[in-house]
Structure 1
Amino acid sequence: MIQSPAHDVLSSLDQRSREIFRRIVESYLNDGDPVGSRNLARILPQALSPATIRNVMSDLEHLGLIYSPHISAGRMPTQIGLRFFVDAFLEIGDLPPDERSSIEAQVRAAGQTHSVENILTEASQVLSGLSRGAGLVLATKAEGALKHIEFVRLEPTRALAVLVMQNGDVENRVLELPPGVSASQLIEASNFLNAHIHGRTLTEARNELEKLKNETREALDSLSQSLVAQGLAIWGGSGSDQPARLIVRGRSNLLENISAQDDLERLRHLFDDLETKDGMIQLLDLAEAGSGVRIFIGSENKLFSLSGSSLVVAPYRDGEQRVVGALGVIGPTRLNYARIVPMVDYTAQIVSRLLR
């Protein structure tokens, strides 16, 4: 992160220096290559000699805003320079109407299945397709209100536990049956659970049944009691489940920008980071720390610091305005920030509406 506030650095640059710096960054964001003084002289609106431009570039390099990747090469922005550009120069506009319509149509179509998983997967896919980076969505294991549970026998010693949430989500788990369980005991266990779980979260339901141990023993035989206990335990009652899940689409897009072995190594670090449980928790923390879209460039984000990637991320919320996840785009530092920021923001808004 730049040491002095962006406005302080900006005030130290004259108009000519600002224009040259802006052109260097925009050229880098466009094609990823360093730009030299002769090329700058051709695209600058004012007539400046290459020697004058090189003097300005030397000053910008001294400030840590640009650097030369090779001897006698042109200049590229440093991570500090990119952050300064984002803070001081980046103009964020609205998404074009056709992109807004496309995002909304695709995500809403997934929502017609009443599956949160489908909505989030489609949001990740949409972000990947529009950004040409990797779209990612982090979903917390937020506990919703329960509606119904049912046991369906699959084999003599196995059954399917079907859990229906009040928001329409349905989850299935296979559980092992105690030897000798009858069809009537499956129904009895389901009825007992449904009498006590409706409208409660899983945690609340487990706590309630813990309080009703004596009543459970009086109302049910030992086999039915075992079914009741297993019926809720299989949904993470042990606390071993991950607190969140990460959906990533478009990893192959990141391979398109690979040009050297060190780039490949950085990408490997990124893929490793995306697989870690701690990484998912950190990603949610990043989104919860701000109310809107946040931009993390390279090493600013400890989660992806080794990969040198940039992350544009925004939280999405449930009907009670609680942050229940995050979505965004990850890619090389030369992301088209001006386009991707409103894209991520709008997608988060659509997902939030569908979760209400």
Structure 2
Amino acid sequence: MTKPVIDQTLQSLDIRSRDIFRLIVDTYLREGEPLGSRNLSRMLPHSLSPATVRNVMSDLEHLGLVYAPHISAGRLPTQRGLRLFIDAFMEIGDLSDDERRVIDAQVKASASGATLEQMLTEASQMLSGLSRGAGLVLANKSDAALKHIEFIQLEPTKALAVMVSQNGDVENRVVDLPAGVTTSQLHEASNYLNAHIRGRTLVEAKLEIARLREETKAALDTLSQDLVEKGLAVWAGTESDLPARLIVRGRANLLENVTAQADIEMLRHLFEDLETKDGLMQLLDLAEEGSGVRIFIGSENRLFSLSGSSLVVAPFRDKDARVVGALGVIGPTRLNYARIVPMVDYTAQLISRMLR
């Protein structure tokens, strides 16, 4: 919902309508249940009859902010209503000192002697535990600075390419060897690569080797030169193909209190979405578009639109202030946004500091 639309909608709501709307949304976020006119009239700070409350609820429904799940039921907020509530009414809380200490301790403890993968896994687990949703972390592997690449011959036409990042991650890939490659040529190619890639990302290393192509031809024989190019190509394809790691913890939290078949079906869609790599880089793009936390409700995020889930996500950055990943919490639309937003924001800032 854009700001002009929000402003226009707010102008159409008087104080009485705003109070009733807030109570409907607050009750939904707290209990997940529709709020009826009789109960609502008792909760209002000013006296209104149930009939008057029903008229206001009807006006809110006409504006597309609430709906009745079935005849004679109370009202629940629509996706549009939740967006209005978050953008115009919600008061973002702050983390308590205890919550900050828990996050600091867990992230810093996991970073001590651990790989980046392990640290991010712990962050995902921690967000899940604190939010009672699923903790999600997405990191672009291509942005890790490289430390070392080595070729180990497995058979005459196969070798294991071992890549070590400066953050401690190790990856192995099997590469095809040109006919006639010797052990000394494998060492020669490894040494040449390591002389030029250390401290660079995969993308930067690939560009550097391409820039030095003429120098490479002079320094290496044809087979060794071919190995140098294969050693990067096995990881660094086109930018859209760069591998990313997705870490999700706490899926079981999403199953709590789910009984309706429709909700189970929505969760099935969500779990399927989390299993596929298609479109995951959208999360990095979405997070990068804003400087801080972003909230996506239901179909606002195409990646999880079928499941109708909400996503609270924030980017984390490397020492050069580049966005290299995103972390957040995914769950039903009745997430405790006011509590989760500062939690996600603080964790993303902490991870960014750890990567500097």
Q: Structure 2-normalised TM-score?
A: 0.87
* Deviation readout 1:309-343 (Å, 9 max, x if unpaired): 11111111111111122111111111111111111
Higher mean C-alpha displacement, 136-145 vs 334-343:
136-145
* SS of residue in 1 equivalent to 2:64: coil
CA distance in 1, matches of 2:303, 2:336: 21
The amino acid across from 1:314 in the alignment is A
Deviation per CA, 1:151-201: give whole Å up to 9, x if none: 445678765433333454443334466677665454333323323333444
Q: Which moved more, 1:153-162 or 1:107-116?
A: 153-162
1:51 pairs with 2:41: no
Tell me which residue corresponds to 2:108.
108
Q: How does 1:258-273 map to 2 (within 5 A)?
A: 258-273=258-273
Q: What residue number does 2:141 align with?
A: 141
Partners of 1:47 and 1:215 lie apart in 2 by 84
Displacement of 1:145 after TM fit?
3.8
The equivalent of 2:14 in structure 1 is 14
CA RMSD of aligned residues (A): 2.8
Q: Trace 1:264-303 onto structure 2 (pairs within 5 A).
A: 264-303=264-303
User: d(CA) in 2 for partners of 1:289 and 1:182?
Assistant: 49
Structure 1 residues 157, 15: CA separation in 2 closer, same or farther (over 3 Å shift)? same
Deviates more, 1:11-20 or 1:24-33: 11-20
SS across alignment from 1:5 = helix
For 1:38 and 1:24, the matched residues in 2 are separated by 12
Which residue identity lines up with residue 100 of structure 1 in the other structure?
R
Given residue 342 of structure 1, which amino acid in structure 2 is its aligned partner?
Answer: P
Structure 2 residue identity aligned to 1:28:
Y
Q: Identify if the C-alpha distance between structure 1 residues 305 and 239 changes in structure 2 by more than 3 Å, giving closer, same or farther.
A: closer
| 8 A contact 1:2–1:84 mirrored in 2 | no
State the partner residue of 1:342. Answer: 342
Q: Mean Cα displacement is larger for which, 235-244 or 113-122?
A: 235-244
Alpha-carbon contact 1:145-1:199 (below 8 Å) kept: yes
SS of the residue 1:150 aligns to: strand
Aligned twin of 1:69: 69
Question: Structure 1 CA distance, aligned partners of 2:5 and 2:63?
Answer: 13
Letter aligned with residue 245 of structure 1: R
Give, as a single letter, the amino acid of the residue that structure 1 aligns with 2:9: V
Aligned counterpart, 1:327: 327
Shift in Å, 1:66: 1.4
Gaps of at least 5 residues in structure 1 are none
The alignment of Structure 1 onto Structure 2 pairs a total of residues equal to 356
Q: Compared with structure 1, are the counterparts of its residues 30 and 206 closer, same or farther at alpha carbon in structure 2 (3 Å cutoff)?
A: closer
> What residue in structure 1 maps to residue 81 of structure 2?
81
CA contact (8 A) 2:116 2:168 kept: no
In 2 relative to 1, CA 72–155 (structure 1 residues): closer, same or farther, beyond 3 Å?
Answer: same
| Structure 1 residue 69: Cα displacement | 0.8
Native 8 Å contact 2:284 2:325 kept in 1: yes
Could you give the per-residue CA deviations for residues 13-46 of structure 1, whole angstroms, max 9, x where no partner exists?
A: 2322222211111111111111112222332233
Query: Contact 1:245–1:280 at 8 Å: present in 2 too?
Result: no
Q: 1:175 to 1:119 in 2, by over 3 A?
A: same
CA contact (8 A) 1:126 1:135 kept: yes
Distance of aligned partners of 1:305 and 1:219 in 2 relative to their CA distance in 1, 3 Å threshold: closer
1:161 equivalent to 2:184? Answer: no
Equivalences for 1:232-243 in 2 at 5 Å?
232-237=232-237, 241-243=241-243
Counterparts of 2:203 and 2:138 in 1: how far apart (Å)?
A: 22
- Decide whether aligned partners of structure 1 residues 18 and 225 sit closer, same or farther in structure 2, where only a CA change above 3 A counts: closer
Deviation, 1:3, is: 8.9
Indicate the larger mover: 183-192 or 62-71. Answer: 183-192
Separation of aligned partners in 2, 1:240 and 1:287: 17
Unaligned runs of 5+ in 2: none
SS in 2 for 1:277: coil
Q: Cα distance, 1:102 vs. partner?
A: 1.1
Counterpart AA for 2:339: R
Distance 1:198 1:52 in 2: 71
CA contact (8 A) 1:93 1:342 kept: yes
Residues 2 and 221 (structure 1 numbering): CA distance in 2 closer, same or farther, change over 3 Å? closer
